[in-house]
Amino acid sequence: MAPSRGRAISCAQKLLSEYVIPPHRNYFSLSADRASRNPISQTRLFRPPHYRLSSFQRCSYSTFTDTLADPANKLQSYVSASSDPYLNLSIEDHILRKSPPDSTILFLYINRPCVVIGRNQNPWSEVNLGILDAARRTHDPKDSEPPGIGTVDLVRRRSGGGTVFHDEGNLNWSITCPRADFTRDKHAEMVVRALRKLGVQRSRVNERHDIVLDQGQGNDGQPVDPKDTHRTPYTIQNGALPRPLKVSGSAYKLTRQRALHHATTLLSSPNLHIIPHYLRSPAKGVIRAQGVESVSSPVSNIGLDVKTFQLHLQKEFSLMYAGLGSPSIGQTVGDDFLDIPDIRKGYDELRSEEWMWSQTPAFTLTLDPKDDIGIEIKVHHGVIKSLDFSNSSLSHETRSALDTALVGLELHKIRDWTSFLKEHIHSWDNELATTARRLDHFLPIPRMFKQ
């Protein structure tokens, strides 16, 4: 028989009391050294002993959709045992699509190292695609460039927003709820309450609906309501320095009846010092793009271990929605959920070249005429639509050959610009060699997508 609500809550509270850690004065500091002392084994999602109780057992993939879609299950909570970003985002999307319109669901997961771009973003202008291959350890000199931390996946999610980096020190949380109950701050405020109960008093929700750690020296004499999740005693007004450090960024997806809010939480990432390498594209200055551009912010680790924060977040979620009942806290989902047809379909879509490249909004890349190149390439949904040579010194014959070879071609089909151009243009010269090098630099295709 399933445990009573009171017994379940008592069990959860007992476990929480065992894992609470005292406030640390450096919660708000940026410390790559401290982060590096958190091994991967310590950052796995925590599955407490009470999962042995019948209502807390691993969720079977064969019954998951039925349980998820049951109108009686107003409040649900799941934890992923998988680190596959394509799978976790597909499970998340399945929850959004299949859960009852009036239900509220928490889903927690940690992904292996990956760069995740928004639904309406341009991967060439948002990501340093050339170094995603650095860890694949081929004999290509380009693949030995730093940072080379291991395999880093590239993912286009289904929600909007900007580009983020995930790794084992980052806990992702998502909440799916009725659209009528949704606000962009509501669940970020819930996370701040959980953080403050763990002693992270500098945490707050900012005007962009992100969670930041204030860096001020202390109260300026103005009283601050401790329940105000948008201000702390350390908040600096009017954009003065030092700037707050971002620890959580959000994205959203809305349907007719449902709302999805998901976000990162930088707890103990060992890669803070190299994240900028991945999120700084060399093509940023030569691409004019439609769609959403990311807003750069200084970031920090919070300094909490995953299991402590996870338990407090689950508890805060239960308290916030106590009126809906008691969720089966932390039912575990995993890799076998790929056997669910709808999840497999979503997984295959996220891993497809069509999803990654063809969903890219229109953009224009301009090669500098100072190099005697002066080509303007217009791309729409990943297809080269036109070339403009008005500022180019290339010969008429070369222009015609380039136009014939490139217009109408899917950009991601070009695996190597030098080889491609040599194959299609017989009058090879220094100008074409320079053109090929520039295009390889600005428009690379990561090896994970190469055939």
The strand ranges marked E within 121-278 are 153-156, 164-166, 172-178, 203-205, 211-213, 245-248, 250-254, 258-263
**The pLDDT value given to residue 371:** 63
Angle between helices 341-350 and 85-98 (to 10 degrees): 130
**The pLDDT value given to residue 415:** 87
Residues 337, 339, 345, 350: is their CA dihedral positive or negative?
A: positive
Whether residues 269 and 376 share a domain: the answer is: no
**The pLDDT value given to residue 322:** 93
Residue 14's DSSP bridge partners are none
Whether residues 184 and 225 share a domain: the answer is: yes
**The pLDDT value given to residue 63:** 87
Instruction: Say if residues 131 and 170 touch (Cβ distance below 8 Å).
Output: no
Residue 289's DSSP bridge partners are 363
Instruction: Say if residues 440 and 124 touch (Cβ distance below 8 Å).
Output: no
Residue 74: which H helix or E strand, with range? none
Cα–Cα distance, 289 to 123 (Å, whole number): 11
Boundary (domain end) residue, out of 331, 353, 375: 353
CB atoms within 10 A of CB 153: 18
Per-residue pLDDT tens, the chain, 451 aa: give them.
444 444 444 444 443 333 333 333 333 333 333 333 333 334 445 443 333 323 345 667 778 999 999 999 999 999 999 999 999 999 999 999 999 999 999 999 999 999 999 999 999 999 999 888 665 544 444 444 555 577 899 999 999 999 999 999 999 999 999 999 999 999 999 999 999 999 999 999 999 999 999 999 876 656 678 899 999 999 988 777 899 999 999 999 999 999 999 999 999 999 999 999 999 999 988 999 887 888 888 999 999 999 999 999 999 999 999 999 877 666 899 999 999 999 999 999 999 999 999 999 999 999 876 666 789 999 999 999 999 998 888 888 889 999 999 999 999 999 899 999 999 888 888 888 989 999 999 999 887 665 4
State how far the alpha carbon of 26 is from the alpha carbons of 119, 304, 353, in Å. 35, 10, 43
Whether residues 130 and 198 share a domain: the answer is: yes
Cα–Cα distance, 132 to 287 (Å, whole number): 20
Whether residues 195 and 221 share a domain: the answer is: yes
* Closest by CA position to 287, among listed 116, 115, 438: 438
Whether the upstream peptide bond of residue 49 has omega within 30° of 0, thus cis, is no
Whether residues 422 and 289 share a domain: the answer is: no
**The pLDDT value given to residue 38:** 37
Whether residues 323 and 434 share a domain: the answer is: no
Boundary (domain end) residue, out of 353, 386, 401: 353
Which residues span the domain enclosing 434?
A: 363-449
Which amino acid, residue 202? R
**The pLDDT value given to residue 292:** 82
∠ CA 156-157-161, rounded to 5°? 100
Angle between helices 417-424 and 396-406 (to 10 degrees): 110
Establish if 414 belongs to a structural domain.
yes
Q: How is 108-139 classified by DSSP, letter by letter? A: EE-PSSEEEE-TT--HHHHS-GGGGGGGG--S
**The pLDDT value given to residue 347:** 98
Cα–Cα distance, 92 to 98 (Å, whole number): 10
Cα–Cα distance, 183 to 261 (Å, whole number): 9
Whether residues 206 and 321 share a domain: the answer is: yes
- Domain tally, the chain: 2
Structure tokens at 363: 């953009």
Structure tokens at 7: 């017994």
Whether residues 339 and 419 share a domain: the answer is: no
pTM, 2 dp: 0.84
Q: Indicate the pairing of strand 211-213 with strand 203-205.
A: antiparallel
Whether residues 83 and 27 share a domain: the answer is: yes
Establish if 386 belongs to a structural domain.
yes
Whether residues 200 and 288 share a domain: the answer is: yes
Establish if 173 belongs to a structural domain.
yes
State how far the alpha carbon of 360 is from the alpha carbons of 117, 184, 355, in Å. 11, 25, 9
Structure tokens at 390: 């008005």
Return all residues near 226 (Cβ < 8 A) that are at least 6 apart: 196
Establish if 358 belongs to a structural domain.
no
Whether residues 413 and 334 share a domain: the answer is: no
Which alpha helices (H) appear in 304-393, and where do they start and end?
306-320, 341-350, 353-358
Burial of 427 (0-12, 13-18, 19+ CB in 10 A): exposed
Establish if 229 belongs to a structural domain.
yes
Burial of 97 (0-12, 13-18, 19+ CB in 10 A): middle
Instruction: Say if residues 176 and 260 touch (Cβ distance below 8 Å).
Output: yes
∠ CA 12-15-21, rounded to 5°? 125
State how far the alpha carbon of 19 is from the alpha carbons of 16, 34, 180, 266, 312, in Å. 5, 20, 35, 19, 9
What does the DSSP 8-state code read for residue 299?
Answer: B
Structure tokens at 56: 């807390």
What's the CATH number where 307 sits? Answer: 3.30.930.10
Whether residues 76 and 96 share a domain: the answer is: yes
Boundary (domain end) residue, out of 296, 325, 353: 353
